[in-house]
């Protein structure tokens, strides 16, 4: 156990756990209790975990691919028999009746669950300030946001309170907090990972993915959680490769697109500078850098904030105080609906439900909802054109910043919902087009001294190339010791 008592800089990876088990340096129970103790001691200052779990009895065989690896799970993903709050008072006492498919798959891969992590209420937000249970703090500087909505997961991984974590990403909710806390965050292609057992926000956008310390770990987790699922009819039957197999192959000649629209107003100087120098590194290791254009980029956020609230307003209609969750004591059925929902939901779900309800209501449907779906088609088409191999200059991946700034102070922007929506500007287009995207830390900002996230976007169902590029870049950044 010597190894786990030492605080390894950057924390332990999946590979560390696998190697330690193989060399019999520690047992599954010993690693688990190491992390349990660490959480007991350090969670109070970070508020990364909302609840913790006991050691599960399914690891048994150390030959399983992720045997004994301690993992944190965003609290909108169901684990049978444990409370799942979605960061909301309306589900404060809700106990999951089954495992999400991703959880079922991780259990059969031998993973151990440490607990459930904090999030913005129903995954709506970019700071975790919308959580009914208070914000998670950034381990790099606890006065700053962890990012959101998977902020608890990102903080847990960054502080080594878990080896890896699961998050969900609707418009950046994995990549944004990964960038804020300086970890790797992967949003797989829409349809790659089953959403069964993920509490739905916007069903045509949501996707589960890993937050990890290394790109290799992200590939190892994706290997286990992806694949077709009969319980989610939007999952793809596409072949699933071993995402680790070609990671270390070089990326000489890889065509990398840099959208010029990413470097306009709103991007802070320190992030722009770091992203530019990271692009030079890609060039140094043999990539061909090309400036590209995504002509409809500036409309992505507006389309997103019609479509996601619309889908959310329908998905959150189920919280009616009748089936489960918080229920008011009202006399009549209508009052019970009205009061359960107004007492149970916080301000952000209310805001989004009302925006969605308005966009879908009689007389506004075509002007808002249909219009936004058409904008979505145009934005997806921009990516298709950029990736089109037959077009002149078709690229293999697209890169840029994950976020406009580094982590800001808790409370700094919380009074202006629209200002917070603008934080998602670089991540949202990827979800509109259903593409895979990864954020990796690429260095420290000159002004803030905080880590900057570098976003890489792949072709649909080509996580293999995306992760290979991210791995090669990571090896050349030398951030980890």
Active-site residue set: 74, 149, 173
String of DSSP letters for 263-328 = GSTTS-HHHHHHHHHHHHHHHHTT-EEEEE--TTGGGHHHHHHHHHHHHHHHHGGG-SSSSSS---
**Site map 281..300 versus another protein, x via CB under 8 A:** ---------------x-xx-
Residues 303-362 within binding reach of another protein (CB under 8 A):
303, 305-306, 313, 317, 320-325, 327, 331-334, 336-339, 341-342, 345, 350-351, 353-355, 357-358, 361
Looking at the Cβ atoms of 52 and 327, the one nearer to another protein is 327
SS3 state of residue 334? helix
Looking at the Cβ atoms of 300 and 442, the one nearer to another protein is 300
Q: Which of 18, 393, 417, 462 binds another protein (CB under 8 A)?
A: 417
The 3-state secondary structure of 51-101, one letter per residue: EECCCCCCCCCCCCCCCCCEEEEECCECCCCCECCCCCHHHCCCECCCCCH
Binding status of residue 74 toward another protein by CB under 8 A: no
Residue 157: CB atoms within 10 Å: 33
**Site map 38..57 versus another protein, x via CB under 8 A:** --------------------
Looking at the Cβ atoms of 374 and 409, the one nearer to another protein is 374
SS3 state of residue 432? helix
By the 8 A CB rule, do 80 and 107 touch?
no
Looking at the Cβ atoms of 114 and 303, the one nearer to another protein is 303
Residues 130-149 within binding reach of another protein (CB under 8 A):
none
Looking at the Cβ atoms of 231 and 269, the one nearer to another protein is 231
By the 8 A CB rule, do 225 and 74 touch?
no
Q: How far apart are CA 401 and CA 408, in angstroms?
A: 16
Binding status of residue 191 toward another protein by CB under 8 A: yes
Looking at the Cβ atoms of 141 and 339, the one nearer to another protein is 339
Provide, rounded to whole angstroms, the least separation between the CB of residue 328 and another protein: 9
Provide, rounded to whole angstroms, the least separation between the CB of residue 132 and another protein: 16
Residue 338: CB atoms within 10 Å: 14
Q: How far apart are CA 236 and CA 191, in angstroms?
A: 5
Instruction: Tell me 393's DSSP state.
Output: T
Provide, rounded to whole angstroms, the least separation between the CB of residue 95 and another protein: 7
Q: Which of 3, 15, 290, 380 binds another protein (CB under 8 A)?
A: 380
By the 8 A CB rule, do 62 and 51 touch?
no
Binding status of residue 89 toward another protein by CB under 8 A: no
Binding status of residue 376 toward another protein by CB under 8 A: yes
Looking at the Cβ atoms of 18 and 236, the one nearer to another protein is 236
Q: How far apart are CA 454 and CA 402, in angstroms?
A: 5
Binding status of residue 451 toward another protein by CB under 8 A: no
By the 8 A CB rule, do 270 and 447 touch?
yes
- Contact residues toward another protein (CB under 8 A) are 94-95, 97-98, 190-191, 204, 230, 233-234, 236, 296, 298-299, 301-303, 305-306, 313, 317, 320-325, 327, 331-334, 336-339, 341-342, 345, 350-351, 353-355, 357-358, 361, 368, 370-378, 380, 417-418, 421, 433-434, 460
């Amino acid at each position: 156990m010597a190894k786990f008592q030492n605080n390894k800089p950057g924390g332990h990876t999946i590979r560390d756990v696998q190697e330690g088990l193989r060399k019999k340096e520690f047992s599954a129970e010993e690693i688990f209790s190491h992390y349990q103790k660490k959480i007991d001691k350090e969670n109070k200052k970070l508020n990364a975990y909302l609840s913790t779990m006991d050691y599960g009895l399914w690891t048994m065989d150390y030959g399983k691919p992720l045997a004994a690896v301690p993992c944190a799970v965003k609290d909108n993903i169901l684990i049978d028999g444990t409370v799942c709050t979605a960061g909301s008072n309306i589900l404060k006492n809700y106990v999951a009746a089954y495992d999400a498919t991703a959880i079922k798959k991780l259990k059969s891969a031998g993973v151990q669950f440490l607990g459930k992590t904090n999030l913005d209420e129903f995954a709506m937000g970019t700071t975790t300030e919308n959580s009914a249970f208070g914000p998670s703090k950034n381990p790099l500087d606890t006065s700053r946001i962890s990012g959101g909505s998977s902020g608890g997961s990102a903080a847990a991984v960054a502080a080594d309170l878990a080896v890896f974590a699961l998050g969900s990403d609707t418009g950046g909710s994995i990549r944004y907090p990964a960038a804020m806390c300086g970890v790797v965050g992967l949003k797989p292609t829409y349809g790659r990972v089953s959403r069964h057992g993920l509490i739905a926000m916007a069903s045509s956008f949501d996707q589960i993915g890993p937050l990890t310390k290394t790109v290799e770990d992200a590939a190892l987790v994706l290997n286990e959680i992806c694949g077709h699922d009969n319980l989610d009819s939007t999952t793809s039957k596409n072949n699933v490769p071993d995402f680790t197999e070609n990671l270390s192959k070089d990326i000489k000649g890889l065509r990398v697109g840099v959208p010029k629209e990413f470097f306009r107003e709103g991007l802070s100087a320190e992030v722009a500078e770091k992203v530019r120098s990271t692009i030079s590194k890609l060039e140094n290791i043999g990539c061909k850098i090309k400036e590209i254009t995504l002509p409809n980029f500036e409309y992505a956020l507006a389309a997103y904030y019609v479509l996601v609230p619309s889908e959310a307003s329908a998905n959150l209609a189920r919280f009616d105080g009748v089936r489960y969750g918080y229920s008011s004591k009202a006399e009549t059925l209508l009052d019970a609906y009205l009061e359960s929902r107004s007492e149970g939901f916080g301000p952000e779900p209310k805001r989004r439900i009302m925006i969605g309800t308005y966009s879908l209501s009689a007389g506004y449907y075509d002007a808002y909802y249909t219009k936004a779906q058409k904008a979505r088609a145009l934005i997806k088409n921009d990516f298709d054109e950029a990736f089109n191999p037959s077009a002149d200059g078709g690229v293999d991946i697209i890169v840029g910043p994950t976020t406009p700034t580094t982590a800001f102070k808790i409370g700094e922007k919380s009074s202006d919902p629209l200002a917070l929506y603008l934080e998602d500007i670089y991540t949202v287009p990827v979800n509109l087009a259903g593409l895979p995207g990864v954020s990796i830390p690429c260095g420290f900002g000159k002004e803030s001294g905080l880590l900057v996230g570098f976003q890489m976007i792949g072709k649909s169902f080509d996580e293999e190339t995306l992760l290979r590029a991210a791995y090669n870049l990571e090896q050349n950044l030398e951030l980890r010791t």
